[in-house]
Amino acid sequence: MPTSVIRRDLVPFTAIFASLIGAALIGDYLLHQQDIVWLGRYLGIPGTLLILGSLVYSLRKRKVITSGNPGTLLRWHEFMAWLGSMLVLVHAGIHFNALLPWLAVVGMLVNVASGLTGKYLLQRARRRLLAAKATLQQGGRSEAEIEQAVFWDAIAVDAMMKWRAVHFPVAFLFGALAAGHVLGIFTFWGWR
Ligand code: HEM
């Protein structure tokens, strides 16, 4: 019981994040193997467009737009953000010439992680923690015993809540850094 949040929520969370990195590594490997590394440069464009497209859900959630099923849009948000980030990672590749776009990549990854935490983990984990507490209460356990029993779950949920707080500011920072990079690229256009 004490490790249920970790086993049932953090493990799938890590798997989704790892699948993003794994797919990007495979993509980069294929580009090199097929000798089409130049294509990676262009993958920044569909990647960025997909990430921008995923923001339709955020607009719907904040009622900036009023049409569209929020549940369906949420699934599209997750899918488009995953695919877009993956393409941007392949685009970033393993070249280090400029700092700004790499800071944007770090921002993007922290953002994906905080998004996954909020969407996939937090609500489920909180609900499960409350349910576990209620079951223990019904079983006649004392407050101290309950606290002891759910100690690690509570710590894990607390950590996740903090993650959620970074999602919006990091998204903002990521957007600004990415915009700086894209603006710079289009200003000094001259792709090799
Ligand atoms: C419209 C979208 C984008 C375009 C047209 C674009 C274009 C480019 C180009 C032409 C380069 C090569 C620069 C060079 O070798 O001097 C590059 C590199 C890079 N881009 Fe983008 N990019 C886009 C979006 C993004 C986004 C959203 C990110 C990150 C979140 C990103 C991260 C990177 C990284 C890390 C590199 C490698 C920098 C290095 O060599 O050190 N790009 N991009």
Whole-number pLDDT of residue 3:
58
Nearest one of 133, 190, 169 to 4, comparing CA atoms:
133
Could you give the CA distance from residue 43 to residue 49 in angstroms, rounded to a whole number?
10
91 CA distance to ligand 1 centroid (A)? 7
In terms of residues, how long is the chain?
192
Print the domain residue range for 171: 5-188
Whole-number pLDDT of residue 107:
92
* Structural tokens at position 33: 């193997």
Give the position, in ligand 1's atom list, of the atom nearest the Cα of 96.
41
What is the number of domains present in the chain? 1
Whole-number pLDDT of residue 1:
44
- Collapsing DSSP states into helix, strand and coil, what is residue 62? coil
Query: Among 37, 52, 91, which is best to mutate for testing ligand 1, by the most ligand atoms less than 8 A from CB?
Result: 91
Nearest one of 87, 71, 68 to 20, comparing CA atoms:
87
Whole-number pLDDT of residue 166:
78
Tell me which amino acid residue 64 is.
V
- Do the Cβ atoms of 13 and 120 come closer than 8 Å? yes
> Residue 142 to residues 124, 149, 160, 173: CA-CA distances in angstroms?
25, 11, 26, 46
Residue with CA nearest ligand 1 atom 12: 41
186 CA distance to ligand 1 centroid (A)? 11
Whole-number pLDDT of residue 5:
66
pLDDT tens for each residue of the chain, 192 residues long: 445 667 766 777 888 899 999 999 999 999 999 999 999 999 999 999 999 999 999 899 889 999 999 999 989 999 999 999 999 999 999 878 889 999 999 999 988 988 887 777 777 778 888 888 999 999 999 989 998 988 988 888 887 777 767 778 888 999 999 999 999 998 887 665
